[in-house]
Every structure is written in C-alpha cells, then in structure tokens.
Amino acid sequence: MERINVDANTSTMTVVDVTMENAQQVLIEESQQRPVVIDFWADWCEPCKTLMPLLEKLANEYAGQFLLAKVNADELQGLAGQFGVRSLPTVMVMKDGQPVDGFAGAKPETEIREMLQKYLPAPWQGLIDQANQLMQDDNFKDALTLLRQAYNDSGEQPSIGIGLAQVFLHLNRCDEAEAILQTIPMADQYGDYEQAMAQLQLKREASQSPELTALEEKHRANPDDLAVAHQLAVQYSQCDKMEQSLELLLAILRKDLNFEEGGAKKTYTEVLATLGKGDPLAIRYQRKLFTLLY
C-alpha cells in the first residue's frame, strides 16, 4: 500500500496508510478538502480482513471523492486512543477536522454506502459537472449524452430531467424535450420548468415556417405522394424534428425501398448520423431500418 509523507500531495489518492509523520496532514488537513474515512484495524482482527477490502473497493469506485485512511491500531495505539477506539474494526468519517460519523464492527456494503452518501456528492454529479462545462463551450451534443446518463443513473430526478429537456430544446429537439417535461411531477413544475415550457412553446411556433406548413398540407391532402413526403421529411430534419423526419422516411422506404434511386435511404442515414452514435432515437430507428432491409 502506498505511503505518503507530511509534504506529499494527497489530493489524487484514494487509499493511504497513516503514520505518525503524516497523521496531521491525512486526518486533519485533508478532511478540510474532502471527507476522510478512517479504518482502524489490526492483523489479528478477522472482521477487519472482511471490511478493509470493501472500503478499498468503495474508495476506488468513488475515485477520490473521499480518502480512505488506514490506521494500524497496534502500531499507532496512541492515535487510536486519541480517537476513543475501543474495538476493532472501527470506522470514522472526518470532515473539516472533526469526526462526524462512524461505526464499530463489520457492516454490509449497503449500510456503508448509505453513510457515505450523506457526506459525498451524488455519483452522477460528476456527469452533470462535465456536461455544464461542455455547455459553456457550446458543445451541447456531447453534454446531452452525459446528462442523459445522469438522468438515468439518478432514477430520473426531476431537476436533472428539466436540465436535460433544456439541452434538447437548445438542439431544437422539441418532441424529446416535451416528453421529458410531461413526466415532471406537479410539485416541481416551477422555476426552470416554467422557463423550459415557455421555450418549448416559442420553438414550436418558430419552427412552423410557411414552407413547412404548406408541405404538411400537401402531404395530408395526398399521403401517397412520396416526393412530397420526402420533401417534408427533409424539412423536418432541418427543423430538428428528427423523429418526425425518420418516421416519415421509414414510411417511404416501406413503400419503395429505392425511392428516388436511394435518395430517401440516404436522407434516413444522414439523419441518423446527425443524431450521433449512442443516441437512443438513432439506435431505435437504426434497428427499424435493419429490420426493413434484412
């Protein structure tokens, strides 16, 4: 196990052995920056041998959000005494230089996670932070991927859903934004939610150009005119109405797979490419095309 001295930088470490030389830095100073989980153990302690690998696993999983500080209570009896350790294993959580939580004896992983979650950012917070940085750089497409993952990982928390809907709106993907906003509970329908709904309404109105309206009317009047349907699908894609575009193109391909010498198929694949790899909408319609072709 890696050891540090009093001058070492611990900010990137996940696990460290505590010595008398580094104890002040690891247990007090580092806990001013992030939580420090102290594991008091000894070679003769059988429960310690079960608990320690579990704590190390969690420390690596949380990737530096907390520091696991391992204290050999036999070698550092004075330090263990200062913390009032009476039995092994004993685990304590240090924050801002003070013990704030802990337990004695081995505990199941679920209970340890519940304790840690009181002092750590949510596991998906890192995804949100990365997405926010991407949005500052006007990279909304990559931000969308991260926010979608955070939304799923969080069990579809409303606040994250509203943020995801706002990114969809920025990309003019109104249908997907509206689908998410419709799931937001009444108690959360204020503030950012109201702003997102207003943006949705404005984008809906702006997207209805006279040319698009005219094509929609032509298509309703004669749905079997595949040329008009293809023109309308192209217009939908240019207005970022991707699902409507793909659904219309799929209907064309079902009637004539080689319509306009493969033009409709080419438009279909271009729309999929615009959505990007890994996008659920792209995956869904890629499968539909595959089923149609094979």
Active site positions, annotated: 45, 48
Encode the chain in three state secondary structure.
CCECCCCCCCCCCCEEECCCCCHHHHHHHHHHCCCEEEEEECCCCHHHHHHHHHHHHHHHHCCCCCEEEEEECCCCHHHHHHCCCCCCCEEEEEECCEEEEEEECCCCHHHHHHHHHCCCCCCCHHHHHHHHHHHHCCCHHHHHHHHHHHHHHCCCCHHHHHHHHHHHHHCCCHHHHHHHHCCCCHHHCCCHHHHHHHHHHHHHHHHCCHHHHHHHHHHHHCCCCHHHHHHHHHHHHHCCCHHHHHHHHHHHHHHCCCHHHHHHHHHHHHHHHHHCCCCHHHHHHHHHHHHHHC
Listed residue (270, 266, 264) closest to 230, CA to CA: 264
For the chain, give the number of residues. Answer: 294
